[in-house]
Structure 1
């Protein structure tokens, strides 16, 4: 054995002497190329550090492999972050996972090696050298290079956006962009409202969700049609019908940030444009109770309301842009229209504008047209399908657990908002039967009041119509008879109202 070891050592030294390092390296490369030539696979290396910079593709692959449901492996690395409720998995060190894309099977291997002792560097490198090696068949090379890496990057961005904390922004005069500070102030957005918990007709809810999803996935459509990648939603209806909850559900569904724009804090149209420029993509810009922020009343209705000028009583609308405090704000209707559908509204992409109002008839038609407010959503009183969602959310009742025929027959006439019903359910959530019974009694009382209110309104309209008819005939009626008719109308008003 000793003699054989000596012979091998002598042969090795002889080879090193006869064959220089350059020749040995060339021979190794030649044999490696031969092996690659006859192999049916090709390999792509993605290192964590590209020179001195972080490789974004490595981070995207790591994030994609940690969340992709299409990947199967026998050995994975499980992690759970601090204050996190979800467990993520990834590729273990020096292990591999298999993925499938458009019929092509690829294999990812996470290669981790110890880095050799490094010389002085202005940026310290990690002790471990990490990277991914992608093995794919040569016949699928075009699929991988053509669209697979783009798919991985897109999925990673989507996962990153869903995992990151969403923010709720608000504007203030103290943060004016002229002073160099950011005009928006933010807090974490933690609203629990979702479309599953939203008390709304399921058919209408599905239409809204489909429209939102089409918008979020419609980048190529908007580019092809030459339209700005934005969409407007108008939420209108009585107070307490869930307009704010709808906005929160939209943000949670798409994973967008919310910019709550307070118009009373904006002085000029120029400042309004600067606020728009400071908003990010994938966001929802909200103006709640827009009819109360500044005067955006219907110009046609105002012009036809009467021919008298110089009448500045309390019922007359204030000048456009003047708010209740008269603090010098000069926002105009034109400035707000350009904010939502002008050239400045295109300084970004994937934005949603949401306006809410309790009185849609007060808003100017120019603000409501398609292109500004593309979808009008009537947040009306609670319907029976929405009521069943509230019962399930607050009391845990399913449709088969309770006889709902009596409630179904009275809920439409009661005209109760989801907020009114929720208050009754919250107050009696420990006693389900009591909650339902009290809610039924409350609905019957409200339904009776609603019927009386409608009857009184109909009688008032009849009296008003009769007055108008008699006024037209006033020239043909003697003064004594006209006075008797007026006294009779007054007595009817006192009797009814």
Structure 2
């Protein structure tokens, strides 16, 4: 080493700086060579999956990565407060890999996860920073990409198990659908007591529709179906739709037509982007356009118009593969164009409790009550005198005292409200609108 040092010191060119420059060039070339080698290794020896925060799989991937401590002991937390059925609350902490690089093994295979968060870029609809998760693992061919299929299936399966007994409610937020609050516990279909076989008929019709996609395609019929449930408030319209969604393992997309930012274009886009396996729900449809003629005069404005709604439900730009429910308390206020076939295919009246309904509701609360007590309750409350919600409220006040309830019926029940049944029958084939109607 001393000999080399003396030779370098005695060399006039090296002493003048040429040697130092040469070493610098050599180091630069070595660094570039290493960068190129690294890039080649990444392209030829590694496979990579990128999941952005805009993708539906993003929350699944984060949850799966941290399940059983797979990804890292360095985490960020999301605090969730859940309300229990008894009114109390519980707090749950969901841990996710914090931004940065993390390493783990899965089924004997090494993985590197890099979660990045852009500080200068945000999601304009939510205000959340833009994020990506990049997953890298050894692989040299397209076939090695199949490992990510298993990866994503596992993540989705974990998410499905977590919400297996829940119904997810979505609302339209800007140009996308977002979960509204926390998933709701599924409501059993038999907990919604409808008159005679109305519930069974509705479920049967929906089930047949969901199993008939090929039939629609072969005949060139748009694959969509619309339902209208009408009747006084508190009789089970919304409850039945919620229970139906749970029975079908569907979510519910609630669309508020009175949203201040709702326009014809936004409505059309929202219905075309409905999440898979979801019921679209338009509640109190009569309140959206109390005067359809007036709404048509607003077509030059930037708000939702009645004609825009009709064209979205059944027009050239209307979406397919759609299951849509509408509800109303005032059937007579609806424009005939809105409920013609193609827009509404099935109409059902959900009215005040009949005698069989009242009796079934009573026996649901008091399964051990005597037949005489149940009959006395049914005779006093049935035949369209009260809504199901009213009767349920009375039963809630006498949770464990059915006999006392029947003995105090006169004071326990409010004055009856007898309503006339609408002229339209429960399930009907509507006629086409007259010439000139939309």
**Which TM class, normalised by the smaller chain length?**
0.5 to 0.7
SS in 2 for 1:169: strand
Contact 1:287 1:355 in 2 (8 A): yes
Contact 2:224 2:323 in 1 (8 A): yes
Contact 1:235 1:376 in 2 (8 A): yes
SS in 2 for 1:241: coil
- Partners of 1:222 and 1:161 in 2: how far apart? 34
Give the structure with the higher percent helix. Answer: 1
Aligned position for 2:195 = 201
Contact 1:183 1:275 in 2 (8 A): yes
Contact 2:281 2:325 in 1 (8 A): yes
Q: Does 1:224 align with 2:225?
A: no
SS in 2 for 1:274: helix
Deviations 1:399-436 (Å, cap 9, x if unpaired)? x6444444444434562000010000001113222233
Q: Which aligned segments of 4 or more residues in structure 1 are displaced greater than 6 angstroms?
A: 51-54, 114-121, 159-162
- Find the partner of 2:268 among 261, 266, 273: 273
Deviations 1:52-104 (Å, cap 9, x if unpaired)? 699xxxxxxxxxxxxxxxxxxxxxxxxxxxx9xxxxxxxxxxxxxxxxxxxxx
CA separation of 1:166 and 1:191: change in aligned 2, threshold 3 A: closer
Residue 441 (structure 1) shift:
5.5
Contact 2:251 2:277 in 1 (8 A): yes
Contact 2:166 2:185 in 1 (8 A): no
Contact 1:269 1:336 in 2 (8 A): yes
Aligned position for 2:168 = 167
SS in 2 for 1:263: coil
Q: Does 1:394 align with 2:396?
A: no
Aligned position for 2:314 = 341
- Partners of 2:345 and 2:310 in 1: how far apart? 14
Aligned position for 1:241 = 235
Give the structure with the higher percent strand. Answer: 2
Contact 1:407 1:440 in 2 (8 A): no
Aligned position for 1:69 = none
Contact 1:237 1:380 in 2 (8 A): yes
Residue 124 (structure 1) shift:
5.6
Q: Does 1:176 align with 2:174?
A: yes
- Partners of 1:387 and 1:236 in 2: how far apart? 20
User: How big is the alpha-carbon RMSD for the aligned residues of Structure 1 and Structure 2?
Assistant: 3.7
Aligned residues between the structures: 277
Q: Give the gaps of 5 or more residues in structure 2.
A: 1-45, 50-81, 83-105, 113-134, 140-156, 421-438
Contact 1:169 1:185 in 2 (8 A): yes
SS in 2 for 1:368: coil
Aligned position for 2:278 = 283
Contact 1:216 1:254 in 2 (8 A): no
Residue 185 (structure 1) shift:
4.6
Larger radius of gyration: 1
- Partners of 2:257 and 2:339 in 1: how far apart? 18
Contact 1:165 1:189 in 2 (8 A): yes
- Partners of 2:342 and 2:395 in 1: how far apart? 40
SS in 1 for 2:189: coil
- Partners of 2:214 and 2:335 in 1: how far apart? 32
- Partners of 2:316 and 2:368 in 1: how far apart? 51
Aligned position for 1:433 = 403
